[in-house]
Amino acid sequence: MPATGSLFYFGHQTQALNQLPVFFIHGAGGTHMHWPPHLRRLAGCRIYAPDLPGHGKSGGVGRSSIDDYAQDLVEFMSFVDIPSAVWIGHSMGSAIALATAILHPERVKALVLIGSGAKLRVQPVILSSIGDPKLLESAVGMLIDRLYGSNADPKLRELGYKQLLENRSGILHDDLLACDNFNIRDQLNKVRQPTLILCGREDWMTPVKFSEYLAANIARSSLHIHQDGGHMLMLEQPDWVLKEIENFLQPFKNQGTLTIRE
């Protein structure tokens, strides 16, 4: 797992220049480890799964703006010499992917959006509590209650709670602030890339209606809903997510270019 610039990333088949480049972008307070191993090793793909600035093993500091994270990752693409890639994002990561598709469309071949939305409002009580060291543990507990579906393995909840508390000071708060300020509802007509939208019926953070709105307003999109999934869909239902992504990516594998229609 190399580090490029100040960003640490998981890489798989990165020297296979004839394979499809795929970027995995984690969500708020996360790391590349939020992507299960078999997703990070998609067959026929060059995989790049970075830890965002200030997260996990990456250096630098976190951002409080989705656009700033998007710019960081565009610069990362230049470091690893990838002109364009499929962007797979979860939650805040999907917001970063959408922002990049709008601001730097030439960098995005296609999109996979998991637990996403055109607007990612955070409940004020969570946002304010996350920013108070005395209330952090209880606030993370409230957050965890909203992250997983009712059938999720309890061990996932326990691990998720621990991982969120391991974030450096201020990172989780700034990530959630970036989400709270994110709103591209009036710009979705600029997203012209083929887009797969995945969500869980039991997602309380980004409800199904958020994904339905994306599907209704992104021209080349398709929506797939897992009836038992929560917000952490790729951890709760990894086999289903893998199958959906593999089916979506199949036409693009081993293609040198993918035309974005105007």
For range 25-50, the mean pLDDT: 95
Structure confidence at residue 257 as a pLDDT band (50, 70, 90): very low
In this model, does residue 262 exceed pLDDT 60? Answer: no
The backbone torsions φ and ψ at residue 28, rounded to the nearest 5 degrees and listed phi first, read -60, 130
Domain residue extents for the chain: 3-252
**What's the pLDDT score for residue 147?**
96
Residues 113-152: tens digit of each pLDDT: 999 999 999 999 999 999 899 999 999 999 999 999 999 9
* In the predicted structure, residue 258 carries a pLDDT above the cut 80: no
Distance between CA 128 and CA 216 in Å, rounded? Answer: 33
Report residue 16's pLDDT band, with 50, 70 and 90 as the boundaries.
Answer: confident
pLDDT at position 254: 54
Highest mean pLDDT (candidates 145-149, 212-216, 255-259)? 212-216
The predicted structure's pLDDT at residue 18: 85
Tell whether the model's pLDDT for residue 234 goes beyond 70. yes
Range name among 14-23, 84-93, 104-113, 228-237 with the lowest pLDDT average? 14-23
pLDDT cut 90: percent of the chain above it: 87
The arithmetic mean of pLDDT across residues 181-187, rounded, is: 98
3-state SS, one letter per residue, for the chain: CCEECCEEEEEECCCCCCCEEEEEECCCCCCHHHCCCCCCCCCCEEEEEECCCCCCCCCCCCCCCHHHHHHHHHHHHHHCCCCCEEEEEECHHHHHHHHHHHHCHHHEEEEEEECCCCECCCCHHHHHHHCCCCCHHHHHHHHHHHHCCCCCCHHHHHHHHHHHHCCCCCHHHHHHHHHHCCECCCCHHHCCCCEEEEEECCCCCCCHHHHHHHHHHCCCEEEEEECCCCCCHHHHCHHHHHHHHHHHHHHHCCCCCCCCCC
What mean pLDDT is predicted for residues 38-51? Answer: 93
Task: Please state the rounded mean pLDDT for residues 15-33.
Answer: 94
Q: Can you tell me the mean pLDDT for 60-76?
A: 96
Topology of the domain covering 3-252: Rossmann fold (3.40.50)
For the segment 153-174, the average pLDDT, to the nearest whole number, is: 95
Confidence of residue 253 (pLDDT cuts 50, 70, 90): confident
